[in-house]
Structure 1
Amino acid sequence: MVPTTTPTASSVTASAAQALFTSLSTGSGIDTASLVSSLVQAQFAAKTDALTQKSTAISAQISGTSTLMSTVSQFAAALKTLATGGTLQTQPVSSNNNVVTASALSGATLAGLSSSVSVSQLATGQSSRTTVPVTTRTTALGTGTLTLTLGTATYSSDGTAMTDFHAADGDPITVNIVAGATSLDGIAAAINAKNAGVTASVVTDADGSAYLSLKGATGSAQAFTLTATNDPSGKLAQLNVGVGATGTALTSGAQNAKLTVDGVAVERGSNAISDLVAGVKLQLTGTSNTAVALTSTTPTDALKSSITDFVDTYNQVLKTLTEQLDPQTGPLRGDAAAQSLLRTLRALTTKPILTNVAAGTPTTIGEIGIKTNRDGTLSVDDATVARALTNSPDAVEAMFAFSTTSTNGLTAALNSISLSTSSTLYGLGASAKRYNDQASAVAKAQDDIATQSDAMSTRLTQQFASMNAKVAAYKSTQSFLKNQIDAWNKPD
């Protein structure tokens, strides 16, 4: 492809002069538009060319700062996502998932976990259903008021009836059953709308007959009664739940989970428990006379993979940064914030990212097998990684762990770098603001030149139009005189 060239100011001026001389030599028929265009272009060519080059350079700088800020931000976000996903965290292991399963809480350190759990009773919620069928789920029962009360209860030996109830502190919940919503569907919707911890649903049998089912939250403190307190039709009373209720039967009672953790007997209102074994969420799934052992396992393979992924991503970020800082072609080669970012990234392998650890514990990513090459890129020393995962698995895990309160770890380090990079006071954010201000100034200068060009074009057009008219008049006079002289000299 043949390269295109931009006319220089001197060549444009020469072109304009030549056009003028050519036009004047003819004495008429001047191409005013072309002449004016050439003169105006000659006047502003140097400034226009300089501003165009400056605008192009600034646009590249703006694009460069945006690219770097986005790249670093995405690097930090990707590492955070990896750290919060749980795959890099030591996980608890249950010896019997049919009794209890275990999962790690975010940020927990579970190396060396050793606990035992025995479960004698699961937490259940009170459940009831009506015993007298209603013709259909849309059959109207009648308006009135149902009162829902939460508390504790005792039940019959077979668990089908409530024998005693003690209301909890607080006001009962009033459920108004209004005209147009007196069917079991309407009543269930009215109860659910209260969000009181009791869920109502309608169950139909094979004949289409409908029953109201009520289920409470788990725990002995979540028992409930339902009483028709305003029942003009007398039909709402068949929905009563509580001591002496005849229209409903209990299918389960409200009770706590009972378990023993490391020899200590405890009760909880839920089968999901996070406050008994440090850093572990227990999910009770069954009962057993045999204790369940809780231990832990370190995700060695996942950590190895993450180290490799980190190195690969770092090298991609470094490549983008060094391209922007190339001494010959980089648009940000003179940008102090970009240079500072490069120094910060290169120091990452030697900067301690773990504090308050035992002597001999790795504190930098360089000490766990991430080494810096001569060209600044990173690589993985597999032998050092393997040794670190064997001797200091907690430290390696901590480097990749995420915490909202700690400044330890790679996630915190990269987040700090990302924030510094985007700072509008001293980072690339400040550079971007400066370049945008410069771009605005160049755009204004270009607008000013356009205004001046228009004014000059108008002025020259008027001047050459006047000149053209005078030349035409002179030529007309010249023609008249010539004709007269020719007539005088004509032989008789």
Structure 2
Amino acid sequence: MTTTTATTSTPTPTPASTASVTKSAAQSVLTSLSTGSGVDTDSLVTNLVQAQFAAKNAAIAAKTAALTAQISTTSTLKSTIAQFSTALGTLTGGGTLQTQPVSSNASVLGASAIPGAKVGQLSSSITVSALASAQGARSAAVADRTATIATGKLTLTLGTATYNGAGTAMTGFTAGSGTPVSIDVTDGSLDGIASAINAAKSGVTASVITDADGKAVLSLKGTTGAAQAFTLKADDAGSALNQFNVGVNTGTLTGAAANAQLTVDGVSVQRSSNTISDLVSGVKLQLNAVSAGPVSLSSTRPTAALAQAVSDFVDTYNQVYAGAKSATDPITGDLKSDTAAKTLLRSLQSLTTKTLAPGSSAGAPTTLAQLGIATGRDGTLSVNTDTLNKAIAAYPDEVEAMFATTSSNALGLQSSLSGISLAASSSVYGLGASTTRYTKAQSDLTIEQDKITTLSDAMKTRMTQQFSSMNSKVTAYKSTQTFLENQIKAWNKDS
């Protein structure tokens, strides 16, 4: 805890306090000199100084206000176009605008479209006979997981294995082509052995589980697939690490390594994982359970979602466009001379005629204009619903491609809008650079205003001193005048 000690010291006069003292002293002198010249010196000096610098102060105030408006408008434009791009990216990346595969039994077989893939004509029959599984093993229970058991080296080897009927023991093992992994155990506790196995990153993970009796067990888990069976052996046959060996007729297994087995359109296949992306074109399959019979795959078109997306895009575009157009209005726009803002406006205007789906079939729409999105005289967009619906019905894949994610279509609508947003935020040539420029100009104006304030204060001090001196002289003249008047009156009275 810190403490603060209060100290008393003589304050150093600041320019503001010095000016105040000078003003107070001058006014005191004038007061002590009685009526003096009869001129309100304080008001006169203030008015004269204000008049001297009025034009410069007004110009700086006007420029400051303009720059503040430009900075605010620039920030708003950048934020608006960025939010537009992000919202479109979220929409296109969510999968709702892409034809999706449909499984007749999702509890057995899940299916999703690979981004950018065309699955509109999907029709497959799949039977799941077995799921892919991973080999597991467990050690005997240890009373204290932190107590040192032994240090040394373990060797882990991957390959294929055969198991007994219950899958609780390995009956045969053939090493794979990979190099066996040497595991250096320096912390000989159960926790240390598990950490050493995990640090090897061999595809086998280890964890320590506390059983119902409070004792600890080393649990090992491999990767799914028949070729991912493993053996674990201590290099030193006499080491206490041998109790963790896993191999033929050694160790207790909790699972066997096996491939998934399924039939796709009459063809029997195997895969090492329950997540499969190379069997049905454009579809990622998720095997969840063994099926009692064939599961059919079909597809559904996002017709309504595409139509709604186009409508939402047009509505949002019109709001963004209105902001950019207002900001660049040649008469009233805060950014009427800003190159980056004008570039943003032109980029938005070009979206409807830009090719968004290159390589489409002959006659298919490739631009927003061909989808029925028209540009009005004021630059805003509108949708011809009939034209849009006909385009979606006749060319669903091409329309989907326009709204595909950036990774699927580098020239699509999302990619194009993202490019506009990035250009607008650029600190080199975009609105980011404009913000930097306006902020610098505003800082320069602050410095200029400080200089004028300094000159103004100096002039006020000088004029106050001059008028004080004048007032003193006028007072002296009045005193002499009064003396002479009284003398003359006395002379006249004597005569």
Q: Does the CA contact (< 8 Å) of 1:126 and 1:215 recur in 2?
A: yes
Q: Does 1:417 align with 2:444?
A: no
Aligned pairs, how many? 462
Question: Structure 1 pair 30/139, CA: closer, same or farther in 2 (3 Å)?
Answer: closer
Question: Structure 1 pair 123/137, CA: closer, same or farther in 2 (3 Å)?
Answer: farther
Deviation by residue 1:35-75 (Cα, 9 ceiling, x = unmatched): 22111101111221122122212221222222112211211
Q: Using the aligned pairs only, state the percent identity.
A: 55
More off after superposition, 117-126 vs 284-293:
284-293
Q: Does 1:239 align with 2:244?
A: yes
Q: Does 1:286 align with 2:322?
A: no
| Cα deviation, residue 362, structure 1 | 1.0
State the partner residue of 2:43: 34
| Cα deviation, residue 338, structure 1 | 3.5
Question: Structure 1 pair 425/215, CA: closer, same or farther in 2 (3 Å)?
Answer: closer
Separation in 2 of the partners of 1:74 and 1:254?
48
Q: How does 1:345-356 map onto structure 2 within 5 Å?
A: 345-356=348-359
Separation in 2 of the partners of 1:367 and 1:108?
23
| Cα deviation, residue 100, structure 1 | 2.7
SS across alignment from 2:284: strand
Deviation by residue 1:150-175 (Cα, 9 ceiling, x = unmatched): 31142233222223334453342324
Q: Does the CA contact (< 8 Å) of 1:147 and 1:174 recur in 2?
A: yes
The one-letter code sitting in structure 2 at the alignment partner of 1:165 is F
Q: How does 1:8-407 map onto structure 2 within 5 Å?
A: 27-28=36-37, 30-130=39-139, 132-134=140-142, 136=143, 138=145, 140=147, 142-145=149-152, 147-158=154-165, 159-168=167-176, 169-176=178-185, 178=187, 182=189, 184-185=190-191, 187-230=193-236, 235-245=240-250, 248-262=251-265, 265-288=268-291, 290-326=293-329, 329-404=332-407, 406-407=409-410
Q: Does the CA contact (< 8 Å) of 1:146 and 1:226 recur in 2?
A: no
Separation in 2 of the partners of 1:337 and 1:211?
65
Q: Does the CA contact (< 8 Å) of 2:372 and 2:384 recur in 1?
A: yes
Separation in 1 of the partners of 2:420 and 2:168?
63
| Cα deviation, residue 265, structure 1 | 4.7
Separation in 2 of the partners of 1:68 and 1:209?
63
Question: Structure 1 pair 407/198, CA: closer, same or farther in 2 (3 Å)?
Answer: closer
Q: Does the CA contact (< 8 Å) of 1:57 and 1:331 recur in 2?
A: yes
Question: Structure 1 pair 324/163, CA: closer, same or farther in 2 (3 Å)?
Answer: same
Deviation by residue 1:337-391 (Cα, 9 ceiling, x = unmatched): 4344334433433333222211210112232233334443323333222222211
SS across alignment from 1:475: helix
Separation in 2 of the partners of 1:395 and 1:194?
48
Separation in 2 of the partners of 1:142 and 1:335?
74
State the partner residue of 2:6: none
| Cα deviation, residue 400, structure 1 | 1.0
Deviation by residue 1:88-137 (Cα, 9 ceiling, x = unmatched): 1111223343443221222222222334444443221111223x444x45
Separation in 1 of the partners of 2:146 and 2:357?
68
The one-letter code sitting in structure 2 at the alignment partner of 1:162 is M
Q: Does the CA contact (< 8 Å) of 2:163 and 2:172 recur in 1?
A: no
Q: Does the CA contact (< 8 Å) of 2:109 and 2:289 recur in 1?
A: yes
More off after superposition, 435-444 vs 118-127:
435-444
Separation in 2 of the partners of 1:323 and 1:93?
47
Question: Structure 1 pair 139/378, CA: closer, same or farther in 2 (3 Å)?
Answer: closer
Q: Does the CA contact (< 8 Å) of 2:157 and 2:180 recur in 1?
A: no
SS across alignment from 1:349: helix
The one-letter code sitting in structure 1 at the alignment partner of 2:164 is S
The one-letter code sitting in structure 1 at the alignment partner of 2:75 is S
Q: How does 1:410-449 map onto structure 2 within 5 Å?
A: 410-423=413-426, 427-449=430-452
Question: Structure 1 pair 50/133, CA: closer, same or farther in 2 (3 Å)?
Answer: closer
Question: Structure 1 pair 163/369, CA: closer, same or farther in 2 (3 Å)?
Answer: same
SS across alignment from 2:309: helix
The one-letter code sitting in structure 1 at the alignment partner of 2:115 is S
Deviation by residue 1:449-469 (Cα, 9 ceiling, x = unmatched): 223212322321222222223
TM-score, reference length from structure 1: 0.82
Q: Which runs of 4+ in 1 moved over 6 A?
A: none
Deviation by residue 1:462-485 (Cα, 9 ceiling, x = unmatched): 222222232233333334444554
Separation in 2 of the partners of 1:211 and 1:46?
86
Separation in 1 of the partners of 2:452 and 2:141?
89
Q: Does the CA contact (< 8 Å) of 2:357 and 2:409 recur in 1?
A: no
| Cα deviation, residue 440, structure 1 | 4.0
More off after superposition, 433-442 vs 217-226:
433-442
Q: Does the CA contact (< 8 Å) of 2:401 and 2:409 recur in 1?
A: no
Q: Does the CA contact (< 8 Å) of 2:155 and 2:181 recur in 1?
A: yes
Q: Does the CA contact (< 8 Å) of 2:109 and 2:286 recur in 1?
A: yes
Q: Does 1:478 align with 2:484?
A: no
Q: Does 1:456 align with 2:465?
A: no
